[in-house]
């Protein structure tokens, strides 16, 4: 009897796109995919920080290139996708948070958050899936969602709405694209220590609330997300689609 063998987590010969790749979780995702052997196209809006991040990756021996792109600009997004061959892996880590009490939320903030977290995510997914189908690729699309796609939070009515919407969108797309072998999933972290996250973590009252919710008793680190990205991008997750991969330290357990 032949023993079963674990599918490979390697991504050699594959090309990946990571949005929001100049810092934080996005940069961690880019490094994780590059560590597994992928060539990574790192996309972000700001050229200076993006170029610096890609230079660091190359110095570490990784295959990476920068792509200055605002995914909220749908014309620019379409042009960037049409000018390239189909990607094997796409990780969307671009996101926006403007936290206010629901009664204080402005229409401008609402539109800005929804524009990045849901509208851009939809058209990015549709664009890369179309290219994958045309090329006959059995690709993997991964969105960095949030535990707030499964629960609510203080001053997060718009952010939670955008992430709940993202979770529903991914489930519908998984049904549509499954017959083509295209997988789409989300990763849902708790609060992660990043420059953006420090805006909340620097508030002692909010930090105490956060730590009381995380059953494992610590704030997340970017490294906590990286293994999940490698897994969902690889053949090891070949039967995983329409799923939410919670990395929340037990927050949503109750």
Active site residues: 159
Task: Report the distance separating Cα 206 and Cα 48, nearest Å.
Answer: 32
Task: Report the distance separating Cα 215 and Cα 193, nearest Å.
Answer: 17
Locate 206 and state its tokens. 């909010």
At how many degrees (to 10) do helices 121-135 and 157-177 cross? 20
Is residue 191 classed as helix, strand or coil in its secondary structure?
coil
Cβ atoms 229, 33 nearer than 8 A = yes
Task: Report the distance separating Cα 28 and Cα 197, nearest Å.
Answer: 15
Cβ atoms 33, 108 nearer than 8 A = no
Cβ atoms 189, 247 nearer than 8 A = yes
């Amino acid at each position: 009897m032949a023993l079963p063998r674990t599918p490979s987590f390697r991504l050699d010969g594959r090309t990946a796109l990571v949005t929001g790749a100049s810092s934080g979780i996005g940069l961690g995702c880019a490094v994780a995919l590059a560590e597994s052997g992928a060539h990574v196209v790192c996309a972000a809006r700001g050229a200076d920080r993006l170029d610096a991040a890609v230079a660091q990756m190359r110095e570490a021996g990784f295959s990476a290139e920068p792509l200055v792109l605002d995914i909220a600009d749908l014309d620019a997004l379409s042009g960037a996708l049409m000018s390239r061959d189909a990607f094997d892996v796409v990780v969307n880590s671009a996101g926006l948070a403007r936290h206010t009490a629901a009664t204080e939320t402005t229409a401008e903030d609402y539109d800005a958050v929804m524009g990045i977290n849901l509208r851009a995510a939809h058209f990015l997914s549709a664009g890369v899936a179309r290219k994958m189908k045309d090329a006959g690729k059995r690709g993997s699309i991964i969105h960095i969602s949030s535990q707030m796609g499964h629960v609510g939070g203080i001053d997060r009515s718009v952010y939670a709405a955008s992430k709940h919407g993202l979770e529903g969108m991914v489930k519908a797309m998984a049904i549509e694209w499954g017959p083509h072998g295209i997988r789409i999933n989300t990763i849902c972290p708790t609060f992660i220590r990043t420059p953006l996250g420090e805006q909340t973590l620097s508030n002692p009252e909010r930090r105490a609330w956060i730590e009381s919710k995380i059953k494992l008793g610590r704030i997340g680190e970017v490294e906590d997300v990286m293994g999940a990205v490698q897994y969902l991008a690889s053949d090891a997750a070949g039967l995983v689609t329409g799923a939410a991969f919670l990395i929340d330290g037990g927050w949503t357990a109750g």
